[in-house]
């Protein structure tokens, strides 16, 4: 009875925990791939659940029927050498595994990559410690951490890493694929509906692994075109004196690691800044992007994200001017 209580306790706990978990979950799918993955998961969960209930019911029934009661004589009847006791379980396993195999191959066929077409969006996704670079190779746009895509379009993704192995996962849109240095991987996705879908690096890649997040923004077709048009524009010119000083710091100090050119012909080690403030987050989609957070970041990046590649000592005047310019980069 003690063990039953424990099992009941664990079951209750897992129910409570699953109640806490909200999206991002692939069980709340928003793409063709996740639709199929969620359906496969549910089919196999129902099947395993039924088997679990039948097996546990038989076990409990025999435990109660054959328990050691006052007056019972030794062991319950033991069964040996009956062919049916071997044949039935073997048959069940063959049938159930056959069904699972069929479901799985059907799902794998359904989510196999479509042949590249002219209207596809091509994105080169590059893992960095600890942020994601998104290079729209046909559009001349480089951005970071926020992947924009139009609803319904096929997005062909090639994945690489510049340092260690990362793994790209936006559960509501697609399965996981590793970003491996020296090995280009491919994946694809098609989103069903506009919205913001969050993801996460899912391969331990160092101290800030947990702070290597992804925001996938699914736009309407018109919204995506507007986003592309804005991203392709050159970075704003500085207007005020403060902005001019800020621009100078960006092009002298920050330029070692960051580019102000949206196409970024020379790859840089840090995120592209041309349209920094068109994004809603920074530092691996860890912090909301606003003047206050960016000021704290410029004052002490290591306090906000220990171990990240940026460690500058800037004066309060420099930070003031930098903010004056950077916040115009919509």
Nearer to ligand CUA, 36 or 166 (CB): 166
Cα separation of 70 and 16, whole Å?
41
Q: Which of 57, 75, 214 is nearest to 149 (CA)?
A: 214
Q: Report the site for ligand CUA in 153-172 (rule: CB under 6 A).
A: 166
Which one of residues 13, 204, 292, 302 is an interface residue with ligand CUA (CB under 6 A)? 204
Count of residues in contact with ligand CUA, rule CB under 6 A: 9
Q: Which stretch binds ligand CUA (CB under 6 A): 16-24, 28-36, 70-78, 203-211?
A: 203-211
Cα separation of 262 and 254, whole Å?
15
The pair of three-digit structure tokens given for residue 291, joined into one six-digit string: 């003047």
The pair of three-digit structure tokens given for residue 244, joined into one six-digit string: 């001019």
Nearer to ligand CUA, 133 or 321 (CB): 133
* Residue 205 found at the interface with ligand CUA (CB under 6 A): yes
Q: Report the site for ligand CUA in 100-139 (rule: CB under 6 A).
A: 127, 130
The pair of three-digit structure tokens given for residue 30, joined into one six-digit string: 């928003």
Q: Is 272 exposed, middle or buried (0-12, 13-18, 19+ CB in 10 A)?
A: buried
Which one of residues 126, 153, 187, 212 is an interface residue with ligand CUA (CB under 6 A)? 212
* Residue 271 found at the interface with ligand CUA (CB under 6 A): no
Say whether 252 sits in a helix, a strand or coil: helix
Let me know how many helices (H) and strands (E) the chain has, helices first. Answer: 8, 12
Which one of residues 209, 213, 275, 305 is an interface residue with ligand CUA (CB under 6 A)? 209
Q: Which stretch binds ligand CUA (CB under 6 A): 14-22, 199-207, 285-293, 294-302?
A: 199-207
Cα distance from N-terminal residue to C-terminal residue, the chain? 64
* Residue 305 found at the interface with ligand CUA (CB under 6 A): no
The answer to whether 121 and 150 have CB atoms below 8 angstroms apart is yes
Say whether 32 sits in a helix, a strand or coil: helix
* Residue 201 found at the interface with ligand CUA (CB under 6 A): yes
Q: Kindly list the residues in this chain that would bind ligand CUA in the complex (CB under 6 A).
A: 127, 130, 166, 201, 203-205, 209, 212
């Amino acid at each position: 009875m003690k063990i039953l209580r424990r099992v009941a306790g664990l079951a209750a706990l897992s129910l409570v925990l699953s109640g806490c978990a909200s999206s991002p979950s692939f069980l709340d799918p928003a793409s063709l791939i996740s639709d199929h993955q969620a359906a496969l998961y549910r089919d196999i969960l129902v099947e395993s659940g039924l088997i679990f209930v039948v097996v546990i019911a038989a076990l409990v029934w025999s435990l109660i029927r054959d328990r050691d009661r006052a007056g019972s004589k030794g062991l319950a009847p033991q069964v040996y050498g009956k062919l049916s006791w071997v044949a039935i379980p073997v048959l069940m396993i063959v049938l159930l595994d056959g069904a699972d195999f069929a479901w799985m191959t059907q799902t794998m066929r359904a989510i196999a990559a479509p042949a590249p077409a002219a209207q596809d969006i091509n994105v080169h996704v590059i893992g960095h410690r600890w942020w994601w670079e998104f290079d729209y190779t046909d559009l001349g746009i480089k951005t970071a951490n926020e992947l924009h895509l139009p609803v319904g379009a096929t997005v062909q993704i090639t994945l690489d890493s510049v340092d260690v192995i990362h793994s790209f996962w936006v559960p509501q849109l697609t399965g996981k694929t590793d970003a491996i240095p020296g090995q280009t991987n491919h994946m694809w996705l098609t989103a069903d509906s506009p919205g913001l879908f969050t993801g996460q690096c899912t391969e331990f890649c160092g101290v800030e692994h947990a702070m290597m997040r992804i925001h996938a923004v699914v736009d309407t077709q018109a919204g995506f075109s507007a986003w592309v048009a804005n991203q392709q524009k050159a970075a704003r010119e500085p207007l005020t004196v403060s902005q001019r000083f800020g621009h100078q710091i960006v092009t002298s100090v920050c330029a070692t690691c960051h580019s102000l050119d949206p196409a970024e012909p020379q790859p840089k080690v840090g995120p592209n800044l041309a349209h920094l403030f068109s994004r809603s987050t920074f530092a691996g989609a860890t912090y909301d992007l606003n003047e206050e957070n960016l000021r704290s970041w410029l004052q002490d990046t290591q306090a906000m994200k220990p171990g990240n590649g940026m460690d500058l000592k800037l004066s309060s005047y420099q930070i003031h001017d930098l903010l004056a310019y950077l916040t115009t980069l919509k």
